[in-house]
Amino acid sequence: MEYMYCDKLVFDGYNFAQLNLTDSLLQGILGYFSAVKKLWLLLATILAVTTVALLIGKEKTHAVIVTKAAPVVVDSAASKKMKQLYYMLDTLFTERSLKNGFSGSVLISVKGQPVYEKCFGYCDYRNKDLMHDTAAFQLASVSKNFTATAILWCVERNMLSLDDTLQKFFPKLPYKGITVQQLLCHRSGLPNYLYFCNSKVVDQTKYLTNQNVIDVMIRTHPPVAAKPNKKFEYCNTNYVLLASIVEQVSGKKFKDFMHDTFFAPLGMAHTFIYDFKDSADRKIAISYNSKWQIQADDCFDGSVGDKGVYSTVTDMFKWDQAFYQGKLLSQDMLKEAYAPRSFEKPGDRNYGYGWRLIKQPDGHYLVYHNGWWHGNNTVFYRNTVDTTTVIILSNRFNNAVYKIQPVWNILYGFKEDSLGEGEE
């Protein structure tokens, strides 16, 4: 009997080298492995054909549009349109990223369904950490709709009244006749703390808290901008006071109230109120100017209500949908929140309770708010008639963020340029 000496024989990972095998035994082994391999290939082919057939069958009823969020399932009749929307929106924002240096996150939904979600630029430019969907952005004045919702939530539970005056909560404040309602719709006539504190706070190396702002107002009595309810005068002081009122009636710090009442129940895991004393390791999109220079905190980052909410586009979408699902306020209260409150000047623009408003041709109001703080530019637009939403959060200063008319043109086929830009 002859033996075959195998030197380099390998079959599908099985190495027969250095084995002394008879020729017939070796051939038997190789034949066995070859048969097994052919059987597996046959089974894999059958499985693949079956899967393709199933997918082709399903395409008759559904298609999947894949974004960075969960896949959106749409009827096949709308599939082509949704794909076109995605392509056109992606072309728009990719161009802004390449030409204008847009850095941030975008989420756009149509009729309550996300059709586009994508991140651009850097979360941390120095370390070249790319933007990701869990990085939280300073919302700037978009925070105001959170504060207003907190106040209205308390009103619905009889914890306060819209007609309550400042003296009920701050007896020493030297401003009479100003109500909670006037704070909400910027008709208080109060001076803006971002301006008067510049000259009245000696040590601006320390964070200025809400209570610090109130103490400065009590101590120095800065002059009013107008009499109460005389006119609309956008003023950040109003919302600092509103956040402090929430603290008084709830017995909690504003950040804890917002977390316990809204953020945690809604599953907004990456949303929080900024607290300079908080040492928690949070994923924050660093704020930059247009030249990628870090925009550090200043003394005003210690006050909240007018700003200070950090969030992601995914969490913001949860917040948006919660209004429609009745998880935040009653429908009657929402009507009050979205109602215009100032009429001394004609025009289509107005302000409700924490929301800016633009009157549309059919008479309803587009509900929105923009924000700008340090290098953060933010946009939150909501068509409450068909539940279409546009959320854009940027961490690098860029005025082009506010130019969202092209987005509406894509979504609705508009051609005119009717929306303004840049207002907080």
How does DSSP assign 300-344, residue by residue?
GGG--SSS-EEE-HHHHHHHHHHHHTTSSS-HHHHHHHTS----S
User: How deeply is 49 buried, as exposed, middle or buried, from its count of CB atoms within 10 A (0-12, 13-18, 19+)?
Assistant: exposed
Q: Where are the beta strands (DSSP E) in 230-384?
A: 272-273, 309-311, 349-351, 356-359, 365-373, 376-383
For the chain, the first-to-last Cα distance in angstroms comes to 94
Domain 88-169+245-412 has CATH 3.40.50.300: no
In sequence order, which residues have a C-beta less than 8 Å from that of residue 408 and are 6 or more positions away?
390, 414, 419
- For the chain, 424 residues long, give each residue's pLDDT as a single digit of tens: 322 223 333 333 334 344 444 444 445 544 554 554 455 544 444 443 333 333 323 333 222 222 333 334 445 556 888 889 999 999 999 999 999 999 999 999 999 999 999 999 999 999 999 999 999 999 999 999 999 999 999 999 999 999 999 999 999 999 999 999 999 999 999 999 999 998 777 677 899 999 999 999 999 999 999 999 999 999 999 999 999 999 999 999 999 999 999 999 999 999 999 998 886 778 899 999 999 999 999 999 999 999 999 999 999 999 999 999 999 999 999 999 999 999 999 999 999 999 999 999 889 999 999 999 999 999 999 999 999 999 999 999 999 999 999 999 999 987 655 555 557 7
pLDDT computed for residue 422 by the predictor: 57
pLDDT computed for residue 419 by the predictor: 58
Cα 57 to Cα 63: distance, rounded to the nearest angstrom? 11
Cα 44 to Cα 315: distance, rounded to the nearest angstrom? 42
Cα 20 to Cα 217: distance, rounded to the nearest angstrom? 96
* CA-CA-CA-CA torsion sign (237, 374, 206, 279): positive
Residue 107, CA distances (Å) to 313, 398, 404, 412 in order: 6, 18, 13, 17
CB 20 within 8 A of CB 3: yes
Cα 376 to Cα 136: distance, rounded to the nearest angstrom? 11
Q: Where are the domains of the chain?
A: 3-56, 88-169+245-412
Which residue is it, tokens 């009827």? Answer: 75
* CA-CA-CA-CA torsion sign (355, 359, 362, 366): negative
Query: What pTM was computed for the model?
Result: 0.81
